[in-house]
Structure 1
């Protein structure tokens, strides 16, 4: 995974450069901009962003008015000083001084061939159009002993032109984004509380956030595929029976309705069911972006949930981005990073570490990023939490984020002792 997001003067974010990895985490105080960065990543990974334009608007309106931006409620953050740039292996989007530019990037034979490995109807269309573009060349070289088509790496400008010309037919969107993005909002806990009423709320159009409605629809569809799901870190089991959601817990013969369970179970269950459903899709890489996965969970349950997310959401080419307020999440991430570090030294250490922390939960430090986000703080308010040498979250950062005030506690001890 190779993605970078640069944001200046956008909402609470004054100046931020974020490199997304296989696992990326944002932590910081409320209102600092964690969700803003996560939502921008979700926007730029969403195919609808590249396909909604009808060609009739100005460049700046084209960027600001796409429906996908409204879904994430970030349109209002644009101003004359806003600068945004998102770059992946396949696309580069830039917005500065009300100029919107979206283009395919990449050069060389290897990059082009990687694009063509993505077999979809959209790519077939691109192949066909490109073949027609090359027909004149092939006819000129026929019989000359030089009948091989030009190196595909030499046709990058042609590919750019073709895709940009086909945006209205959604070819560009399918070609540009090879991953499917799924955003899990913090408001998901609301879904369990209105388990049997949300369909009517949608019907009556009472103004629920679109992002929550999207999640509700996705969860509803996923229940058809996931009728049972063990939730080991909560010692519970999800059951979907006759259109209703239940939770089976130990020492109780009859299951509880989901809406009758503890708030932590209500918050986490719809998310897990949806993620279980999506993780079974091995045909396309997926990006999972989750707001505050730890909602209403005890620290040990947070750790168990994080293990589950790493296992389900990072297999294959999938990636995971989370926003969090929990220092327990950071501490446990450090544990999973260190497990990889130690277990990778040799086979003996690998086996010993795996007994303590199963290998399926390990995180490669080279595929991990963590950022403290507090937009109003200092010049930028966004900084990496990683020690560049160890590639782990530094202990000083852990202490700072945890709010540990050792000096103040020592002062209280001194007062108590009469010093």
Structure 2
């Protein structure tokens, strides 16, 4: 349904990844987790941008030039390596392949597109041409239908949704959100400072995109009223539990209110609070909009600077927020705690399907759960990517990760042996 295949790109020797509703990448730093997450985001952006490309009137050549430029922006050619590489991404009937081309001038890329992509683009253009003479701000007015005026939404997004459904899936129009690591940077920026500095400083494009998004979403979060969407009270309770206080935005300044009626400027809070605040604001805002359209959410290192029990609370909230989402949620992590809690949720979901005893079900219903079939997990190591879902159980096989703990335990045992031998001398 959705997959990514990478050969020889940016330190990744071989990766065959099937993407589930929830996908987890775990591994050492600089192992390729972020590269693969960003590649999936890049291709999803191409698909989601189809409607606007059609509306812009850009030629097919111009669109392809833009896609190449964005690839180089997201993945600078200095990171490609010197070997030939190929990247293939598939979402239903849409397929893209990026291949390197080597010549005397250096390395360049070629992007090929499946026939379905071109068909959707042309279908969108045809639909838009039908209404171009009667378009009123993205709507067509039909007079006197059953005694009243009616409007048909013919905005690019609406047309894309309809045509996407005809081509297998409405997930073609999902909004994409990439939440990079280093989020504390955004927490400490006030007002519209980020919009200013991002235009004058050469920065990572993923940081720029998230910074602009975060500015919009924290303003909308602070203006949101209690009960404006379902489960707001529950969201605020979880928010308070994870952040260890209540968030307030006053006169363009961010504060965390904690015990003793203390209001602490966000720049003076802990690194964990600064890291998790932008993520939670984004998640609550996305959750509000899921009733209208799906979202594809990419989160780097949700565990950053958080104690293990808070990591558990956060991953539970991420999964519960995105469970009914029509899009995907992809997480990169170094944390075995994150992986273990996801496995617990999968196991609980597995047991709820199988166990019929009411007393046992009541115990299981207290914790977070997820259908194991919705989850994919991959381990990144030494340029290779391996799937760590055990097909016999449907759960995560964390034996590779456990080896790390075993090495640490073994070292401790050896130290104890040295102590015992020394004392017996």
Give the alignment's TM-score, normalised by structure 2.
0.74
Alignment of 1:286 with 2:295, yes or no, is yes
What is the correspondence of 1:295-306 to structure 2 with a 5 Å cutoff? 295-306=304-315
| Compared CA separation, residues 200 and 22, structure 1 to 2 (3 A) | closer
Quick one: which of 192, 197, 200 aligns to 1:205? 200
What is the correspondence of 1:173-322 to structure 2 with a 5 Å cutoff? 177-196=172-191, 198-199=193-194, 201-202=196-197, 205-227=200-222, 229=236, 230-249=239-258, 251-281=259-289, 282-322=291-331
Quick one: which of 364, 368, 372 aligns to 1:353? 364
Unaligned runs of 5+ in 1: 107-111, 116-120, 131-162, 164-171
How far the C-alpha of 1:56 sits from its partner, in A, is: 4.6
Alignment of 1:66 with 2:65, yes or no, is no
Partner of 2:137 in structure 1?
Answer: none
How far the C-alpha of 1:127 sits from its partner, in A, is: 5.2
Instruction: Report if aligned partners of 2:190, 2:252 keep a CA contact under 8 Å in 1.
Output: no
Partner of 1:372 in structure 2?
Answer: 379
Farther-moved stretch of structure 1 (85-94 vs 96-105): 96-105
Unaligned runs of 5+ in 2: 102-109, 131-159, 161-166, 225-235
Q: Number of residues paired by the alignment?
A: 355
How far the C-alpha of 1:234 sits from its partner, in A, is: 3.3
| Compared CA separation, residues 19 and 204, structure 1 to 2 (3 A) | closer
Q: Distance in 2 between matches of 1:285 and 1:69?
A: 27
SS at 1:331's partner residue? helix
Q: Distance in 1 between matches of 2:20 and 2:38?
A: 16
SS at 1:187's partner residue? coil
Give the alignment's TM-score, normalised by structure 1.
0.75
How far the C-alpha of 1:256 sits from its partner, in A, is: 1.5
Farther-moved stretch of structure 1 (275-284 vs 230-239): 230-239
